[in-house]
Structure 1
Amino acid sequence: MPHSEHKQGIRPTIIIDADACPVTAEALAVARKRGLPVLIAGNSTQNLARHIRRGDPRKDTGGFWADTLAVGVGADSADFAIVERLQPGDIVVTQDIGLAAMVLGRSAHAIGVRGRVYTRATIDMDMEIRHQEKKIRRQGGRTKGPAAFTDEDRERFAANLDRLVEESVRCRGPRG
């Protein structure tokens, strides 16, 4: 996906891991407000285009535009397709810690659907916790699932994504 020019330099693309993403509308709203491109990625069984408004541009206009990327149904297909298209400074919306780790490794940003911004300082611990919980479940044990998704989670996500976009645009500077 080509990156668009912006007054301050290259604009980040917001990439949404749309498989079971409860904040696609909020991410699109931030992108519209900030004039950023969006790629909605998910498995081919979903109607990804349903998230895009009828009048939204689907090609680079120099401002907001949105496109979709349908991938195969296989495990982690969307994750690998996202990483393949990722550019430094892009922002990925995901609830998948493994994808968040790959995103950070590519000098991009990752934000969870509840508004948690993943960082290099904590991603190793997040991965270790995920690994330990998976081991417990494989052995027949139970782990605590996530709390019900709330309006506060939605609001926190939108505010933190907006802040992350601001930081990303400011840090990218002019292209050189």
Structure 2
Amino acid sequence: MSRTLFIDADACPVTREALDTARRAGWPVVIAGNSTQNLERRIRRDDPRDPEHARRGFWVGVLDVSVGADSADFAIVGRLSAGDVVVTQDIGLASMVLGRGAAAISVRGHVFRKETIDMELFVRHEEKKVRRAGGRTRGPAAFSSEDRRRFRENLTRLLG
């Protein structure tokens, strides 16, 4: 059974790195996002686009979903198999991915774990409560070259 790398393309700054890593590892890729995004822009012209034309197991497909909150997330979860890997910034999606026996990695290279995902969801929930009450929470640090390096290293490890 072939494992697949899914990319939640909503504001994903490491799509190119994910595709390069999948090419080297011979993993198929599905890029999921809403139809207003130009999902094709990171795909090379010579990349195989379906399993029939795969090279060393690598091919890349696009999953256009409707515009709407979490559309891409639910499209990905509905197609997941145990052993797949998902690139996402969304802790909620990461939680669903782990529940399906797949792996999840953030765009900053954080590999989500079953042992800690509940705490990450709790922190997200508490921060949202503070913002709804008019408070402020600290946003993420600027995306850095160190984040990009960590992402490549950890994704390479996940794809084996």
TM-score, normalization by structure 1: 0.88
User: What is the match of residue 132 of structure 1?
Assistant: 126
Q: Does 2:81 match 1:90?
A: no
* Matching residue within 83, 98, 105 for 1:104: 98
User: What is the match of residue 48 of structure 1?
Assistant: 39
Amino acid at match of 1:100: A
Q: Distance in 1 between matches of 2:77 and 2:101?
A: 11
User: What is the match of residue 116 of structure 1?
Assistant: 110
* Matching residue within 11, 34, 38 for 1:20: 11
TM-score, normalization by structure 2: 0.96
Q: Distance in 2 between matches of 1:75 and 1:50?
A: 22
Say which SS state the counterpart of residue 118 (structure 1) adopts: coil
User: What is the match of residue 162 of structure 1?
Assistant: 156
| Cα distance per residue 1:51-86 (max 9 Å; x no partner) | 110000001125210000011111000000000011
Amino acid at match of 1:69: L
| 8 Å Cα contact 2:27-2:159 kept in structure 1 | no
Q: Which runs of 4+ in 1 moved over 4 A?
A: none
User: What is the match of residue 137 of structure 2?
Assistant: 143
User: What is the match of residue 172 of structure 1?
Assistant: none
| Cα distance per residue 1:95-127 (max 9 Å; x no partner) | 000000000000000000000000000000000
| Cα distance per residue 1:26-47 (max 9 Å; x no partner) | 0000000011100000011001
Gaps of 5+ in 2: none
Q: Distance in 2 between matches of 1:153 and 1:12?
A: 25
User: What is the match of residue 78 of structure 1?
Assistant: 72
Q: How many aligned positions are there? A: 157
Say which SS state the counterpart of residue 117 (structure 1) adopts: coil
